């Protein structure tokens, strides 16, 4: 009856919704599904964060509209965290912007800078909002393949010169979802030089900076010289604190970029519920031992899963960070068909690599967000159908 806008028609299907439909259908049929698909932590939010929310929610002062800029106490907590974690000094009022989860900030940011037809340099495979946000802003994604032969880093030298001059922004995400690749400071310095030379904004998604293993500590682009003028970095409490449903994150970096995103958001939302902001303060400033324990749980699961997959002859790179394992399909088929086979024959949900883009074909992603017992059970089921 009503015709969708060209922007909506241009959006690729959001594969996670399709996976969720298939999963729900299987469960309605009474099947025992092991969900290694969407990366949603299975551990509860720490109790002291819940307590902070409970206390703050009882205060009528927190029931009113929140400040669009975020509460000063939250911005101060974020400022302190950046100083402790990365030795980066951020201005409280101009270089930090709380968000209703980093996803909305990433998706809304292109509205501040892209005009119809403008280009974003987007990695592939990638977290879908990089492409979706570009399209909804009227821009055009230019795909940068992330190939195993280049350690799943974009090859900046292969971007055609005319496109470099036209591009307004470039997205990077390390530690990476879905490939779990990590970037070195050598790459980051090359990226900053590339962006400065071509007058391009760097959009850095740092959502997995705290989920790491074997002594590895991811870095921030904002640590490096030349970054503050052209980088906006997105972070989230979702994965670090098991708070995916709470929807709280932030952007930090260039004053101009933060100001522009704030202007977009002031026309779209009315800020984060103040009680959740105060819970966020507790998460950032409270005891941090739980983060280490979360990483220890994922590391144990990682090792169990990889040992089992290697024993079956499957190929996967051992991740240093994120709670994903990026696995080459051990059969001559496409990723959607292989994922469908695992669901149909083994009652296991995984994410087809092509759901993250053309260059994700040939892979599947498994999330470490189920217990080690369920991972062992999944391995037994895979063994039976292999």
Model pLDDT, residue 92: 95
In sequence order, the 6+-apart residues with CB closer than 8 A to the CB of 85 are 209, 220
Of the residues 243, 266, 285, the one at which a domain ends: 285
Grouping H, G, I as helix, E, B as strand and the rest as coil, residue 324 is strand
The answer to whether residue 37 is domain-embedded is yes
For residues 273 and 296, membership in a common domain is answered with: no
For residues 269 and 204, membership in a common domain is answered with: yes
Model pLDDT, residue 331: 83
Of the residues 285, 313, 330, the one at which a domain ends: 285
For residues 256 and 118, membership in a common domain is answered with: yes
CA distance 369 to 102: 20
For residues 233 and 309, membership in a common domain is answered with: no
Model pLDDT, residue 306: 98
Kindly tell me the sign of the dihedral angle through the C-alpha atoms of 32, 37, 40, 44: positive
Model pLDDT, residue 38: 83
Model pLDDT, residue 19: 76
In sequence order, the 6+-apart residues with CB closer than 8 A to the CB of 222 are 82, 86, 88, 90, 228, 231, 233, 252, 253
CA distance 373 to 60: 44
Total of domains in the chain: 2
For residues 152 and 273, membership in a common domain is answered with: yes
Block residue for tokens 């009113």: 64
Model pLDDT, residue 18: 74
Question: Taking the model in full, what pTM does it have?
Answer: 0.96
For residues 200 and 247, membership in a common domain is answered with: yes
What pairs with residue 119 in β-bridges? 140, 167
The answer to whether residue 1 is domain-embedded is no
Average pLDDT per block of 10 residues along the chain, 386 residues long: 90 76 85 92 97 98 93 98 98 97 97 96 97 97 98 97 95 98 98 98 98 97 97 97 97 98 96 98 96 97 98 96 97 92 95 96 97 98 94
CATH number of the CATH domain containing 202: 3.40.640.10
Model pLDDT, residue 20: 78
């Amino acid at each position: 009856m009503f015709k969708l806008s060209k922007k909506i028609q241009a959006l690729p299907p959001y594969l996670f919704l399709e996976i969720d439909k298939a999963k729900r259908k299987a469960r309605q049929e009474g099947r025992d599904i092991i969900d290694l698909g969407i990366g949603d932590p299975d551990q509860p939010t720490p109790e002291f964060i819940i307590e902070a929310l409970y206390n703050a929610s009882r205060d009528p002062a927190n029931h009113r509209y929140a400040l669009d800029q975020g509460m000063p106490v939250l911005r101060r907590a974020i400022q302190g965290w950046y100083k402790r974690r990365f030795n980066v000094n951020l201005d409280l009022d101009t270089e930090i912007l709380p968000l209703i989860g980093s996803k909305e900030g990433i998706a809304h940011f292109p509205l501040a800078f892209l005009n119809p037809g403008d280009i974003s340099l987007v990695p592939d495979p990638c977290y879908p909002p990089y492409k979706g946000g570009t399209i909804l802003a009227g821009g055009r994604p230019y795909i940068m393949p992330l190939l195993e032969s280049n350690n799943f880093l974009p090859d900046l030298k292969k971007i055609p010169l005319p496109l470099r001059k036209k591009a307004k922004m470039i997205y990077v995400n390390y530690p990476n979802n879905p490939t779990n690749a990590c970037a070195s400071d050598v790459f980051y310095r090359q990226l900053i030089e590339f962006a400065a030379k071509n007058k391009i904004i760097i959009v850095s998604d740092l959502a997995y900076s705290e989920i790491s293993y074997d002594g590895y500590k991811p870095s921030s682009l904002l640590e490096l010289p030349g970054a503050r003028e052209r980088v906006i970095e997105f972070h989230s409490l979702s994965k670090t604190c098991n708070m995916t449903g709470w929807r709280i994150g932030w952007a930090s970096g260039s004053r101009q970029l933060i100001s522009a995103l704030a202007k977009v958001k002031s026309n779209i939302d009315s800020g984060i519920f103040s009680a959740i902001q105060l819970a966020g303060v507790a998460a950032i400033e409270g005891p941090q031992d739980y983060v280490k324990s979360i990483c220890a749980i994922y590391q144990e699961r990682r090792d169990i899963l990889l040992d089992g997959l290697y024993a079956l002859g499957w190929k996967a790179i051992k991740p240093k960070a994120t709670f994903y394992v990026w696995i080459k399909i051990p059969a001559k088929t496409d990723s959607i068909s292989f994922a469908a086979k695992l669901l149909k024959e083994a009652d296991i949900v995984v994410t087809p690599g092509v759901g993250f883009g053309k260059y994700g074909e040939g892979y599947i992603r498994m999330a470490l967000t189920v217990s080690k017992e369920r991972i062992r059970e999944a391995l037994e089921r895979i063994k039976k159908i292999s």
